[in-house]
Every structure is written in structure tokens, then in C-alpha cells.
Chain A
């Protein structure tokens, strides 16, 4: 009953006119920055933070939170339509989403993403309300050793992202991991691969890599052959998912939600794994494995749900413990502080209206998002009708502005050009960008946690086996490897890694 009282308090706060209004402003802005290539939620929240100084604390946080999960919604749009992911999660969506768009099924892909996100958001919000504090306690059991094991498992499982040969996929992952090492080593301060350029000390920005490898490389590929682009136009088939589509996305949505909600709680980077893992799981259990990579709707619905669920549950460590899980959450900590609320475990008891109001607003925000997004699908799909010679300079322009706005670092823009050319060369060689991106995102996490675990244990590698959670995760990793390598299953693997279709 206490839960009902709390939820009643939450909704009475969240349904105040100004709170609904700013929730709407937040998700609208979030959708906009999610759709725009380059500009991410971190930059937007950072820029809007000062504007919220004059708001009530709860109103400010509702709006900032709305920007964050709204951007997760919107991020899939450009990934699907023009193969331009702004975040690591959207890179997964682009794999099958953009293929669907090329086949004239952009509407179905967008709808699957929106509906999946809504269901995931709703379930995750309930999880937040019911079990936030105990979940946060469980998450704290994850130390460096556990994160290392988790990321390793994610990396092994996600090799399924590749369509081509396993060798090329591994090479791409390795290249991604190497690119991820650029910058100052956090343990020794040693600059790695920076070539005396101070601007590279902070490492290469993910957005530059994603925009270059996916977006720019795609543009170059389209430009070399005018037919590829015009072929898409005029073939836009049914705007909405067919009955068959609807049947096919139920399972992926629910599995993705579960996976995402669980991973999102982990403050040390679980949310990064959500969409990758969901994609890998769907591909592995699907009866239509061969469709993955060439427009399987499951490959859109699952990862999108996982991503949105993780976006919601990643608020758990912040709200219950005051511990930020990623840069946007760190900005939210700043917002708490500016509004005179000390982030920490006391927020639930000291500021119940704020805590429950924010949770209730997330559900309201999800409703607003689905209302906002479904009608927009028709308009987005029309974007594919824009003559390509008008569209592609726009894409490059906005991507460059957006990327520059991240840190006012011109190197991030140069990096787009570099990775665009690299991506084009790799496509020509039959190598895919997704595994590279995966390595780029997970490699640093893997290294950081491996070294940290060993520093804490004074170089004793047995910690990975003596800590129960880490041991279980490593056992799963070995199992995943065995499954992949066992000769008996080799024949089925041929399908997973179908040679160039």
C-alpha cells in the first residue's frame, strides 16, 4: 500500500501543469537532439542546465530527464533513415533498421522502435518504482572484476553482430579496441597514440567515429552510384508494421526490456551493453537468423527496447544512491546540487515528492513520446524523398555542427572526415563498421576494469574466479565460446556468418 501512496504522491506532483509542460518540452527537445546527428543528450542537458536554475527543482529534473530518455527514442530515427547513429545503442539499430529503410520499410522499422521503446519504458518505470533501492544495492556488488567479466561476455556474445566472416569481424573488433586506447591512460597518465596533439588526450569521441564510419561512409558509397539512392524512392511500402511484423516483435520487445532493465541498473557501464546484447540474443534464438543484417524487424525492436529500458533504469543508482552511471547522470547530479539538493541516499526520504514525481513523470514522458513519435513517422519517411544531392550536404553540415558542439574541439570534426574515409575503405574491403564500433566502446571498459581489478588485488588474477558473480560471468563467457567453436554446431554457424550475401 505504501507503494500506492508513493505513486499517488508521484503522479500528483508529475501531473501539475508546469511539470507536464516541461516534461513535454524535455521529451520534445530530446527527440529533436536524438534525431539530429551529432548533438547528443549530454551536450543538450549541459547547455540547458543553466536555464533550469530558475525552475522548481522537480520541474528542472523532470525536464532534464525527459531530454535524456527522449533522445534515446529519437536516436533511432536517423539511424534507421540515413544510417547515422548518434550513440552506440543506435549503431545497433542501424544494422537492420537501415536495411529495412532501403527495402522501403522505414515506417515499420520506426514504428517497431517507437512501440518497443514505449513498452520497455513503461515496464522499466514500474521496476524503478517497485524495486529501485534493493536493485541499487545489488548493483553495488559489481566491482571492477565483475565489470571486466561482464564486458568480456558482452564482447564475445556480440560477435554475432557481424554478417561477414568471423575473421574480419574479429579484425574489426581489434581495430576498434586499438582506436579506443587513444588518449591519456588513466592509470599512468601516459598519452597513447596522441602524436603530441593535446586535443587527442581525451581520446577520440564516439560520435565522430559513429558519424564517420556509418554516416559519411554511407554517403560516399551512395554517391559513387546514383542508382542506389534513387532506388529507395518510390518503393516505400506499407507505413505500419504488418500483422506478421507485430507478431514477430512481441518476444524481442519483452526480452530486450528484461535485459536492458537489468543491465541499466549497473552504474559501471551496463547500459552500453544493453542494445548489443539484445541484438546478439535475438539473432541467436531467431529461426530467421539469415535475415539479421538484411532487415530483420526483431533486430530493431529488441535493441531499441533494451536501450530504452536501460535508459530508465540507469536512473536507479542516481536516484537511490546519488551515484551517476554516465555523463548525463553526472550532469543531473550537477542539477541536484544547483537546486540545493544534495544527491545521495537521503533523497528518497528527504524529498519524496521529487523522487516519486520524477519516476511518475517518466511514465508520462513515455506516453508523450509515443504520441509524439507515431504521427511523425509519416513525415520522417518522407525525408527519404528529399533529393539526395540536397540531403547529403545537409547531413554532413548538421553532423559537423553537432559534433563540434560536443566539446568545441575541431579535432572531433577532423575525426569525422578521417573515419568517413576509413569506413568507406573498409566497406570496399568487405569489413563492417559495427564490430569496430563495439570494440571501440567496450575495449576501454574492458581494459579499465581489468587493470583496476588487478590493482586492487595487487596483481592477483585469481580475483576473477574467487568472486562469485565474476566467476559465473566468466563461466558463461567460456560457454558462449564453446558453443561458437564446437564443430557440431559449425554448420549452423555458417548461417550466422553468411558470406557476403
Chain B
């Protein structure tokens, strides 16, 4: 009798644990490429669409994706699941999507890293242009050049003079190889012609921590990460790397104003589908993206992130492809000149 009762308790418990686990596991699982072939786009979407984010949940790229997922799903009349497939600077997630079925049910959100990966990684397993259909650009997040608050130079011009005079002393932090902060740092060095001592960190959090703590001299990172520290005066800001000033930091001059016009970089995001996805489906996705980018909530939330949706004309496959090709050329040169390799 007693054994029976305990056994029942046990069974109940196991069932409860099982339900929780399955719910937890399934909520992230929309089935990568798990679709049967859909007829060329007529009834699309007939099942959940998975957007793969090749970076961790909660990061800037993930946030942007989740912001646009809801209005995109509404426009498409389906459900969108965001799945994070992390690893190797976004190349694991991108590789997975490149091999997924080209039916439009698995798409990829990637940022500037799409254009730098071929130069950084050998044996990538995919090619940005040949393996994907571009759907459209999403947003371009500005970057800022920031320093520890007691760092000597006061303006961008002073910074350039200072690093030229003290190139053996100055330390430049970044969030790891291939990270936006690393790329921006490379551009800074190529624009000023100075080779600096780079200090890589594992992610922006620790890098920013050491910058606020005064352990390293300066770095370049996205407004998403730096604007809180800038407005609080915990770091010194020199410039923003976009052609125009950003709304959330109106007093911060641009690199052009500061005398370094060659230093222009933004973390641009785009949506991709595997090569061979039917044109009609890509078109539908692109239209849904355009609709999401004029959604007031998306605009407001992006403004809080210090960025804005791209104009509708850029949220198209053609504009995205042009940008991708132009960026591939730019970064191939910058990275080759710097002699950086990630593998």
C-alpha cells in the first residue's frame, strides 16, 4: 500500500517536472528548417516562422529582432519564433540557417558581422552573398568613442594627437574578436594610422566595467551599451560614428565634426533567408519588415536604444544586397591590413 502511494506521488512529480521541462524546451523551438516543403509562397505562412539570432538573448541584436518580430508576424498573419543560436561570432547560427530548408520558415537576423566573417574566419561553410537571399536592412546602430573619465584628451582631435604621441602606452578595449567594438577599433587605428595595444574582453559588459573602473583607456562601442554611462558622466565621450548626431546624445559631435571623417561605422542589421527561397516568399517577408519598421512602438523602442529603423527604401532585398557587398569589400581590406584572423 505504502509503496503504491509513494509510487503515485513519484509519478505525479515526474509528470509535473516533465511538463515544465517540455514547456521550457519547446518555447524556444520553432523547428529550424523543420518544415515540409510549402508551395511557392501562395499560402505562406502556413506554419511558424523561426528567426534565428546568432547571438545571445537579451543582447542588442536579439532585442532588435524581438521588437520587429511581433509587428512582422501581424502583417504576415502567422507566428514568429525567435531562436538564439550562439557561437563563433555569429557564424554558427548563420551556418545553420544557410543549411536550412529554403522555404521561408527559417530566416536569419544578422548584423555587421555577416560582412566581416569571410575575412576573419577560414572554412566558414557558407558565403554571405552566395548562400543567402537578402530580405532587407533593419536598423543601423551608431557607435560612440568613449574613454575612462580621467583620460587626458578632452576632444576627438586631442585624442588623435594623444594616441599618436603615446601609441606605446594607450590601451584600446574591445568585446572580443569580430565584435562591433573590435571592428570600430580597427577602423580607428586605420583612420589615424596608429597601431594601439588592444585589450580584448569576453563581451561588452566586462570591457565597459574595466573602462568605468579606469583599468583601460578607451574603446568604441554601440550607443545601446554606452549611452547610460555617458549621460551619467561615468565615461568620457568623444564622438559618435554616424554622419549625423544621435537624438539621445545631442551634445556629442560626430567623427566628421571632430576631424576624423574616415571613421564611419554603424552596426547595421539585416534579415536573410537561405539561398533559393522563393521570390514571392522573400517579397512577403520584405513587405512585413517594411510594415514593422513604420510601427510606432518599434520606432519608440528603437529611439530608446539610440537608434532608428532604416528608411523603407532600404528595407528591400536590393538595397540590402548592395550594402552587404559594399561592406564585404570595406572590411576585407580593413581586416587584411590589420592582419587579424579569428581562425
Contact = CB atoms under 8 A, between A and B. Distances in A.
B232 A346 contact: yes
Contact of B88 (A184, A321, A385): A184
A398 interface: yes
Interface in A93-140: 140
A402 B17 CA distance: 12
A189 B177 contact: yes
A334 B62 contact: yes
A358 to B, nearest CB: 16
19 contacts: A36-B20, A39-B21, A49-B57, A53-B66, A143-B210, A143-B213, A323-B208, A330-B59, A331-B56, A332-B58, A337-B63, A338-B66, A386-B13, A387-B7, A390-B14, A398-B18, A404-B25, A405-B25, A455-B197
A378 B89 CA distance: 46
Q: Of residues A186, A190, A327, which shows the largest number of chain B Cβ atoms within 10 Å of its Cβ?
A: A186
Interface string B288-308: 000000000000010011000
Contacts of B85: 407-409
Contacts of B92: 198-199, 201-202, 409
Which of B57, B125, B212, B224 has the most chain A CB atoms closer than 10 A to its own CB? B57
B259 interface: no
Given A342-B231, A455-B197, A198 B87 contact: yes
B210 A144 contact: yes
Interface residues of A, number: 75
3 smallest CB-CB distances across A and B, nearest first, come from: A344-B228, A334-B58, A46-B57
B37 to A, nearest CB: 23
Contacts of A405: 24-25, 28
A36 B22 CA distance: 11
Nearest to A327: B56
A49 B58 contact: yes
Interface in A194-232: 196, 198-199, 201-202
Contacts of B86: 202, 407
A247 interface: no
Contact of A337 (B123, B209, B224, B229): B224
A198 B95 contact: yes
Contact of A456 (B32, B209, B215): B215
B279 interface: no
Contact of A344 (B27, B62, B197, B231): B231
A74 to B, nearest CB: 11
A191 B343 CA distance: 6
Nearest to B182: A189
A250 B210 CA distance: 37
A32 B27 contact: no
B340 interface: yes
A164 interface: no
Contacts of A290: none
Interface SS majority for chain A? helix
Interface stretch (B129-137, B150-158, B184-192, B199-207): B199-207
B63 A334 contact: yes
A394 B206 CA distance: 38
B21 A36 contact: yes
B57 A383 contact: no
Contacts of B212: 140, 321, 323
Nearest to A268: B206
A456 B20 contact: no
Given A327-B56, A334-B62, A404-B25, A385 B305 contact: no
A455 to B, nearest CB: 5
Contacts of A144: 210, 215
Interface of A: 32-33, 35-36, 39, 43-47, 49-50, 53, 140-144, 184, 186-191, 196, 198-199, 201-202, 267-268, 317, 321-325, 327, 329-335, 337-338, 340, 342-346, 379, 382-383, 385-387, 390, 394, 398, 401-402, 404-405, 407-409, 448, 452, 455-456, 458
B213 A324 contact: no
B57 A331 contact: yes
Contacts of B322: none
A235 B210 CA distance: 53
Contacts of B305: 337
A337 B14 CA distance: 38
Nearest to B225: A333
Contact of B120 (A187, A189, A330, A346): A189
A458 B208 contact: no
Contacts of B231: 342, 344, 346
Contacts of A187: 200
B57 A47 contact: yes
B176 A186 contact: yes
A44 B92 CA distance: 22
B10 interface: yes
Contact of B25 (A35, A323, A334, A402): A402
Nearest to A44: B24
Contacts of A344: 227-229, 231-232, 234
B91 A198 contact: yes
B277 interface: no
B300 to A, nearest CB: 8
A335 B66 CA distance: 12
B161 interface: no
A46 B24 contact: no
Contacts of A189: 120, 177-178, 340-343
A47 to B, nearest CB: 5
B64 to A, nearest CB: 10
B215 A46 contact: no
Contacts of B125: 198
A407 B234 CA distance: 34
A144 B82 CA distance: 36
Contact of B205 (A143, A323, A335, A456): A323
A451 to B, nearest CB: 9
Interface in B73-110: 82-88, 91-92, 95
